[in-house]
Structures are given as C-alpha cells and as structure tokens.
Amino acid sequence: MPRSRRQRQRREARRIAGAAVPTKRSIYRQYGRAIDDVTGFTQALVSLLRDSGPNPYKEAIAGAQDINEAGMQRLAALGVDPAAGATLGAGQDQSLEGLLERSAAEGAYTRRQPGIAASQGALAQQGLVQGRQDALHERADAFRSAYVQAIEQVKANAFQHQQFREQKREADRNFAFQQQQFAEQQRQFDAEQKRLRDQYAAEQQAALQKSPYTAAQISAFRATTSEQVVNAINAGVGPQKFINDAIARGIPREVAAQTAAHAYGNFADRIVSMGNIPQFMQQNPQRGRAFMAYQAWIKQLQNMYGKKKKKPRTRRYGAD
C-alpha cells in the first residue's frame, strides 16, 4: 500500500477516534475551572482568617489589670499594709493569669487557622490535579481503543471501495466492448438494409427502362410521388401501402417502388441516428407507425433476396 494512502487512513482513523472521546481541551477546561475556584476560595479564606480582628480576651485582661491597680491604690489610701494588700489581691491575680493563659491559647489557635486553611486548599487542589491527570489517562486509553477499531473499519471501507472501483472499471470495459459490438452490428445491419434497398431500386430502374414511358413522363411521375411520399410518412403509411396507393392513382409500380425505397430508407436512417427510437415512437406515433411498417417491408425484401446472415454471438469482454 502506498505511504500516502496509509497516512490518509491513519488520519481518518484518528479523526473518528477523536470524535468518540472528550478532547484534552475540554478536560483542562473542566478541571481548570474547579482548580481556579478552589484556589480563589482558599486565598480568600486565608486572608479572612489572618484579618480576624483583635484577641477577644484583650479587653478582659485590661479590665482585670485596672481593677487590681485600683484596689491596690484604695488599700494604700486606707493605710493598709502593702503585704496584706498583696494577700488580698492574690485572688485577682489568679483570675488575671487565667485570662492571660486563655488569651495565649486563643492567639495560638487563631494563628494556626490560616495555615490549616491553606493546607486544606492545597490538598483539595492536589486532588483536582490528580483527577485531571486520571481523566487524561482514561482519555488516552479510550482513544487507543477507539483508534484500533477505527483503523480496522477504515481499512475495510477502503478495501470495499477499491473492489467497487475495480468492478466499475470492469463493468465499464464490458459496456464499452458491448457498445462497440452493438455499433458494429448496427453498421452491418444498416449496410445490409441499404444493400437491399439499392438492389430493389436497381431492379425497378432496370424494369422502368424497358417500360413504354418516356423520360419526361418518368420525371413527372417521380415529382408527383416525391411530394406524396412525405405526406404518406407523416400520416403513418408504410412503404408497401404507399406503393399500392400510388399504383392505384396511375403511377407506374417501378417509379413508386423507387421513391418508396429512397424516401423511407432516408427516413429510417434519420430515426436510427437519433439513438432513442422508443422516445421518437412515443413523441411521434404516426411517423412511428410508418417506421415500423418500413421495418416489416425490409423483412419482405430479405425474404425476396435471401435471408440475412446470422448476427455473430455477443461475447462478454474478457471471457475465456
């Protein structure tokens, strides 16, 4: 097989296989949108968590510190011993320490949230990337399977098309040979008809020369029958009836026969040269009857001058 034909078959198989699976562009578009959505959401969430506002314990701690400081100032104004004041403020100090511990824990938790959100977003994005890669692998597998089926179908179609072309070429050769044979047979048939007409007309001419009619009379008879024969053909009258009618009108048989042989012969030759006799018969029924009557008259001449040679058998072109 020529290389160019193989390449065309492969291109056609790739086209068919490609139509049976999703395109790479559609897969990238589908997963690309999801990845962009996850990325944008993650960035927005991280930004929101980083800007979550001040520590909620900050105001409570400041308030506790102000209370402790005010209490110490009040004890000092009352003349209470600072050591005793320290003992009295121990409970407040424990409350403040609890607030500080909870504030530190809250701050640590808040600082971890952006990192956690970023990690979760990265994990989701990684899953989408892996899903896209899996979809591309599945597409590749499906494409290979579809390509194997498509290339076999393309080769089978090409083989059938090649067979059809070979059969058509063979049929065209047979038809051309048959047309050639038909044309040769038609040529022989036309030549045989012309020979019969000429022989018949020659016999009538020989008989006319022995007749008592003068040349002027014969010319007048021929002029009369030349006009009458056209009307007879258009009216659907056959050559034998035309001859009989002409004899009844006083035309010598030899003149009527010569006129019929030439006029009907030329008329039939024109019809045959058209190549579509059935169409002519349908469109011109009266003249068609004249043509059929002429064919019957020719058969009478064949019986008169000897049967026509048998047509050669049509042999199929290329037959053994």
Q: What is the pLDDT of residues 229-245, one digit of tens each?
A: 999 999 999 999 999 99
Q: Which residues of 144-156 are buried (b: 16+ CB within 10 A; e: fewer)?
A: eebbeebbeebee
Residue written as token pair 């007409």: 197
The pLDDT > 90 percentage for the chain reads 23
Give the pLDDT confidence score for residue 314 in this predicted structure.
Answer: 45
Give the pLDDT confidence score for residue 260 in this predicted structure.
Answer: 92
Structure tokens at 178: 């048959």
Closest CA to 200 of 251, 229, 231, 239: 239
Give the pLDDT confidence score for residue 315 in this predicted structure.
Answer: 41
> Which residues of the chain register pLDDT less than 70?
1-2, 51-111, 306-320
Using CB atoms within 10 Å of the CB of residue 91, give its burial: 0 to 12 exposed, 13 to 18 middle, 19+ buried: exposed
Using CB atoms within 10 Å of the CB of residue 40, give its burial: 0 to 12 exposed, 13 to 18 middle, 19+ buried: exposed
Give the pLDDT confidence score for residue 141 in this predicted structure.
Answer: 92
How far, CA to CA in Å, does 39 sit from each of 9, 27, 112, 113? 44, 18, 19, 17
CB contact at 8 A, 38 and 125: yes
**pLDDT tens, position by position, 216-275:** 998 999 999 998 999 999 999 999 999 999 999 999 999 999 999 999 999 998 888 887
Measured distance CA(137)–CA(125) in Å, rounded: 18
Measured distance CA(254)–CA(200) in Å, rounded: 10
Give the pLDDT confidence score for residue 30 in this predicted structure.
Answer: 87
Closest CA to 202 of 91, 71, 301: 301
Measured distance CA(119)–CA(41) in Å, rounded: 13
Closest CA to 256 of 291, 229, 292, 286: 229
Measured distance CA(94)–CA(61) in Å, rounded: 12
Give the pLDDT confidence score for residue 83 in this predicted structure.
Answer: 57
Give the pLDDT confidence score for residue 291 in this predicted structure.
Answer: 92
Give the pLDDT confidence score for residue 250 in this predicted structure.
Answer: 92
pTM, rounded to two decimals: 0.43
